[in-house]
Amino acid sequence: MSLREVGIAFGGLRALQSVTADVDEGEILAVLGPNGAGKTTLFNCITGLYRCEGQIWFAGRRIERMAAHRRSRLGIARTFQTPVLIESMTVLENVLLGADLVRRPGYLSCALRLERHLEAETRERARQSLADAGMAGLADRPAGELAHGLRKNVELVRAFLGRPRLLLLDEPASGLDHDEAVAMGRLVSTLARAQNVAVVVVEHNVGLVMAIADRVTVLDFGKQIALGTPAAVREDPQVIAAYLGGVAA
């Protein structure tokens, strides 16, 4: 995905100004910034909830004027800060919801009676994904019994099971303690590389971002003030002044 001079204004308030960045398959782009910096607004522009200025390129085409549901069909997926699971369903059943679009049989598969095979294959892939995330033993537990950190992991596995080409993660470490955040970051990195998914992550946890991102961009009141490798952004004077405080010392 490529963002070129993306911006948006609400009345007299300019929420984003000329944001430019790229993220390739298998890479992670992190978006940092204080509350109100425009991070979630940027996600809404990418997914089509807001109509923005500038250009958004994805899958070889410009999509900034494309309807949200068409962008989703191209392979753009998103998670939210608060994990939304169906608590009466098992962990495995919740994860399988993420594969609904990719396992929905077409006319040919029905004619060749492949539906059952595809469903069994998807179920096995879901169990393997849970195992890769260290949650194999939770597959048959009701999702309502899970602690917050595990619910976050289930949502992440579910999102990747849908085989997105671009996954937008909105504060995946929100509400997690240090160890849970480290585990979450490791899981995001592993799944992104293994499945060759481009990931854009909005996050306040600076340590997590610096550990997993290939590139980092920083927003401040809608303005892009830095873009580069984690090491370069960490030392940027504007970033230190606006957001990171004394972290570069």
Rounded mean pLDDT, 177-199? 92
The pLDDT tens digits of the residues spanning 137-186 come to: 999 999 999 999 899 999 999 999 988 999 999 999 888 999 999 989 99
More confident residue, 241 or 208: 208
Say which amino acid occupies 237: P
Query: Taking the CA of residue 124 as centre, how many other CA atoms within 13 Å lie in the half-sphere pointing to its CB?
Result: 6
Residue spans of the domains in the chain: they are 2-87+147-244
Structure confidence at residue 247 as a pLDDT band (50, 70, 90)? very low
Predicted pLDDT at 196: 94
Higher pLDDT, 206 or 5: 5
pLDDT band at 240 (very low <50, low <70, confident <90, very high): confident
Q: Is the pLDDT of residue 229 over 70?
A: yes
2-87+147-244 is a CATH 3.50.50.60 domain: no
- The pLDDT of residue 238 is above 70: yes
Q: Say yes or no to pLDDT of 66 above 50.
A: yes
Residues in the chain: 249
**pTM for this prediction:** 0.85
Write out the two tokens for 240.
């230190």
CB 165 within 8 A of CB 59: yes
What's the one-letter identity of residue 206?
V
